[in-house]
């Protein structure tokens, strides 16, 4: 690859830039340091000898806030290994949008072959994507979407609104099966402005409005266990005795909410007073479904990397990849909570949580 020579010459400068950009993040700084150092090393050697025909990729990851995120990072690191023919520069942006833009710009300066972005927020992207386009570097967006620019090659991910609709339609059917006629719900949302938060809220609230449910509150738990716990602690005080459903927009928030409800003496799950809904359905989440604590869990698949690799292979062969690639997802519960429901008239199948299912999850 001709442009690689320029890339390696710029690499030493960039190593310094990247360190400055993300130096304040905890886990990320060491990962960034390692990657930047690796890139810098290649600058002192012959191009072909240093990375051979390795395809260079820069990945600007959201952060390390959840089990889902850990699985997503691992998926990329496993697929884009040196063994598989890749040289991956990984930057953990620690949920900081400015650091993420800076990481993308550092990849442009390194002149990587491809850039992968999981956008922390869905807006503010057009300028930097134009810069990628001008540099001739294809951008592959994964997971969260970009709403204010289409200057990327492909997006691989899930439909967050569908996940929210599924949770809402499930609740409607489940509540009916239990003879519960009044729904008063509290939402612990994911990071404000993330498309995962926007879509899940939109989908669930659409069903809520159609059925006259009462939304008591929605606050940002930032997709973390600590965030979920502190918001639930304040909900327990403000809405004591007034709610019968808690919607957590990821598993880690649900774990935090469980601790807060335990401490407040509130029972939840299949045998409790409060219906607890979660998203992601990572291993640890499904374990809480099996323990009857999370009433139902709506999957979001974090294993995008194999699909991204297909996009890259298509591009390497001179083809045109699909603009949008959707990954399959499942809705999980125990048999007691496996009710029939449809989304926009399409019947859904729920997956029973068994030991095997938990084992196979991420």
Binders of ligand GYE among residues 285 to 304 (CB under 6 A) are 300
Give the whole-angstrom CA distance, residue 83 versus residue 14. Answer: 24
Options 61-69, 180-188, 209-217, 289-297: segment touching ligand GYE (CB under 6 A) = 61-69
Strand partners, 325: 156
Of 31, 35, 65, 299, the one binding ligand GYE (CB under 6 A) is: 65
Radius of gyration of the chain (CA): 22
Please give the backbone phi and psi of residue 186, each rounded to the nearest 5 degrees, phi first: -120, 135
| Shortest Cβ 226–ligand GYE spacing (Å) | 13
Candidate residues 29, 50, 244, 250; the one interacting with ligand GYE per rule CB under 6 A:
250
**By C-beta, is 159 or 348 nearer to ligand GYE?**
159
Residue 250 Cβ vs ligand GYE, minimum distance, rounded to whole Å? 3
Cα separation, 12 vs 218, in Å, equals 46
* Closer to ligand GYE by Cβ: residue 87 or 222: 222
8-state DSSP, 274: B
Verify binding: residue 162, ligand GYE, rule CB under 6 A.
Answer: no
Helices and strands: H and E segment counts in the chain: 13, 15
Q: Contact 142/157 with Cβ under 8 angstroms?
A: yes
279 lies in the site for ligand GYE, by CB under 6 A: yes
- Asked if 220 touches ligand GYE (CB under 6 A), the answer is no
95 binds ligand GYE (CB under 6 A): no
Give the number of other CB atoms < 10 A from CB of residue 246.
29
CB of 196 to ligand GYE, least distance (A): 4
Residue of the chain from 69, 105, 161, 293 that contacts ligand GYE (CB under 6 A): 69
Tokens matching residue 322: 């699909």
Q: Residue 66 or residue 244: which is nearer to ligand GYE going by CB?
A: 66
Residue with tokens 């072909």: 48
Could you tell me which stretch among 60-68, 257-265, 331-339, 349-357 binds ligand GYE (CB under 6 A)? 60-68
Non-local (6+) Cβ contacts of 7 within 8 A are 56, 110, 111, 112
Closer CB to ligand GYE, residue 65 or residue 96?
A: 65
Supply the minimum distance, in Å, between the C-beta of residue 120 and ligand GYE. 9
Report the distance separating Cα 120 and Cα 88, nearest Å.
20
Q: What CA–CA distance (Å, rounded) separates 67 from 83?
A: 26
Q: How far out from the chain centre does Cα 24 lie?
A: 22
Q: Of how many residues is the chain composed?
A: 362
Instruction: Supply the minimum distance, in Å, between the C-beta of residue 279 and ligand GYE.
Output: 6
DSSP per residue, 49-98 = HHHTTPEEEEEEE--S-SHHHHHHHHHHHHHT-TTTTEEEEEEE-TT-HH
In the bound state with ligand GYE, the residue whose beta carbon lies nearer, of 143 and 205, is 143
- Of 21 and 119, which has the nearer Cβ to ligand GYE? 119
**125-154 residues near ligand GYE, rule: CB under 6 A:** 143-144
Cβ-proximal residues to 312 (8 Å cutoff; 6+ apart), any chain: 55, 57, 114, 140
Q: How far apart are CB 75 and ligand GYE at their closest, in Å?
A: 13
Does position 161 bind ligand GYE by CB under 6 A? no
Instruction: Output 194 or 350, the one with its CB closest to ligand GYE.
Output: 194
Interface residue with ligand GYE among 173, 196, 258, 315 (CB under 6 A) is: 196
Whether 362 and 302 have beta carbons less than 8 Å apart is answered as yes
Taking the complex as a whole, how short is the minimal distance between the CB of residue 287 and ligand GYE, in angstroms?
16
* Only segment of 64-72, 82-90, 227-235, 352-360 that touches ligand GYE (CB under 6 A): 64-72
Q: Which residues in this chain contact ligand GYE in the complex, by CB under 6 A?
A: 65-66, 68-69, 143-144, 196, 223, 250, 279-280, 300
């Amino acid at each position: 690859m001709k442009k690689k020579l320029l890339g390696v010459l710029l690499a030493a400068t960039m190593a310094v830039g990247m360190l400055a950009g993300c130096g304040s993040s905890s886990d990320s700084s060491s990962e960034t340091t390692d990657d930047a150092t690796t890139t810098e090393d290649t600058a002192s050697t012959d191009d072909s000898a240093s990375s051979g025909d390795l395809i260079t990729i820069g990945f600007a990851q959201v952060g390390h806030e959840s089990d889902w995120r850990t699985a997503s990072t691992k998926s990329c690191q496993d697929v884009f290994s040196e063994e598989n023919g890749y040289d991956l520069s990984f930057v953990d942006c620690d949920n900081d949008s400015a650091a993420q833009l800076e990481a993308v710009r550092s990849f442009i300066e390194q002149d990587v072959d491809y850039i992968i972005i999981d956008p922390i927020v869905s807006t503010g992207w057009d300028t930097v994507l134009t810069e990628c386009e001008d540099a001739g570097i294809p951008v592959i967006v994964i997971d969260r979407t970009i709403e204010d620019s289409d200057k990327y090659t492909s997006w691989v991910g899930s439909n967050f609104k569908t996940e929210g609709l599924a949770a809402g339609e499930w609740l409607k059917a489940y509540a009916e099966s239990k003879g519960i006629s009044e729904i008063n719900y509290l939402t612990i949302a994911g990071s404000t402005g993330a498309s995962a938060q926007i879509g899940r809220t939109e989908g669930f609230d659409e069903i809520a409005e159609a059925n006259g449910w009462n939304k008591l509150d929605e606050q940002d738990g930032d997709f973390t266990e600590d965030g979920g716990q502190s918001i639930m602690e304040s909900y327990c005080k403000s809405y004591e005795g007034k709610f019968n459903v808690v919607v957590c927009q990821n598993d880690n928030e649900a774990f935090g909410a469980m601790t807060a409800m335990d401490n407040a003496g509130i029972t939840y799950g299949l045998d409790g007073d409060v219906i607890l809904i979660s998203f992601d359905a990572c291993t640890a989440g499904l374990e809480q479904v099996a323990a009857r604590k999370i009433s139902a869990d709506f999957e979001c698949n974090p294993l995008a990397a194999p699909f991204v690799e297909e996009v890259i292979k298509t591009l390497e062969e001179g083809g045109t990849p699909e603009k949008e690639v959707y990954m399959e997802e499942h809705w999980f519960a125990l048999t007691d909570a496996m009710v029939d429901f449809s989304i926009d008239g399409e019947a859904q199948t729920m997956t029973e949580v068994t030991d095997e299912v938990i084992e196979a999850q991420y």
